[in-house]
Amino acid sequence: MAQRTSVAPQLTAPVKQDTFFFSTFLAMAIAAAVSLISYAKITRNKTIPSGNWMIEGWQGPAKGVSQIQCGQESSFATNLLDIFASKESTTGDGEPDLVELKLITSKLCCIKHDLMSTNQVVQSSLTLPFSTSHDRENPAETVSRCFTKSIPPRDLEISFTTWRERGLNLLDRLCTSFSLTKAEENSAKKNFMSVWFDTYNVARGICSPDEDVSNKPSPRDPKGFISETVKSLGEYKGYY
């Protein structure tokens, strides 16, 4: 009896050479694109000092470029902090006082950073904390009111005076805690006052409203009128 031989059916069609080359090229292109995007993400994280916590825009980074936030805005702030960088406190209050002084200096620098920005956005001062020991209002609120020119000159002076007086008070204590020499004490106070005056000078030109023209006299204002026929008469001294 003859044996029957069965041939298995062909399940797949043969792969065309053109299709194989196209699929290989497409896979290589996708792999190259993924590698390029991954490389860009990795290198980008190393070139933004402030990280990805907010969009920086044209203002530049506020964090990661100095000992304090926005410290790059003033060389006087850098000089001030360098005085205490290599010293240690001899009292328990020295370190907390230095932290508060850095916070005040940072607020002054960040306020200037925001006020000098071209897009006028509350950005650098947005994350600064409020402190009852030296703040009249939140620094971000101060900057936002500056952009609308709604801070009276007296209110602006009070806020900056509070920062100045508290900063000088802290410096008096820090000079004792860190055993500064007289020359170092004078340099620290001079640099702090330079930071303060620089920011205050910028704020005075931006924050306060323009001169109120409604208080100026106008030819159309109501007032008394004397006719020409009466102007030549003398003063009446008789009795009614």
Asked if residue 116 lies in contact with residue 202, where contact means CB atoms within 8 angstroms, the answer is yes
Asked if residue 126 lies in contact with residue 140, where contact means CB atoms within 8 angstroms, the answer is yes
Domain boundaries, the chain: 22-52, 71-210
Chain segment 204-231, per-residue pLDDT in tens: 988 888 766 556 666 676 777 777 777 7
Percentage of the chain modeled with pLDDT above 90? 36
Give the mean model confidence (pLDDT) for residues 100-124.
89
- Please state which of the ranges 48-57, 77-86, 228-237 shows the lowest mean pLDDT: 48-57
Chain segment 149-199, per-residue pLDDT in tens: 889 899 999 999 999 999 999 999 999 999 999 999 999 999 999 999 999
Percentage of the chain modeled with pLDDT above 70? 76
pLDDT beyond 70 at 101: yes
Asked if residue 87 lies in contact with residue 79, where contact means CB atoms within 8 angstroms, the answer is no
CB-based contacts of 102, cutoff 8 Å, min separation 6: 67, 68, 81
Q: With the CA atoms of 120, 126, 131 and 132 taken in that order, what torsion angle do they form, in degrees rounded to the nearest 10?
A: 60
| Bigger pLDDT: 204 vs 233 | 204
pLDDT at 106: 92
Structure tokens at 81: 């902090």
Asked if residue 63 lies in contact with residue 53, where contact means CB atoms within 8 angstroms, the answer is yes
DSSP one-letter code for 131: -
pLDDT beyond 70 at 127: yes
Asked if residue 69 lies in contact with residue 128, where contact means CB atoms within 8 angstroms, the answer is yes
pLDDT at 56: 46
Answer yes or no: pTM beyond 0.85: no
Chain CA centroid to CA 186, Å: 28
Asked if residue 202 lies in contact with residue 112, where contact means CB atoms within 8 angstroms, the answer is yes
Q: How far apart are CA 78 and CA 72, in angstroms?
A: 8
pLDDT beyond 60 at 1: no
Q: How far apart are CA 235 and CA 224, in angstroms?
A: 17
pLDDT at 54: 45
Count of Cβ atoms closer than 10 Å to residue 180 Cβ: 18
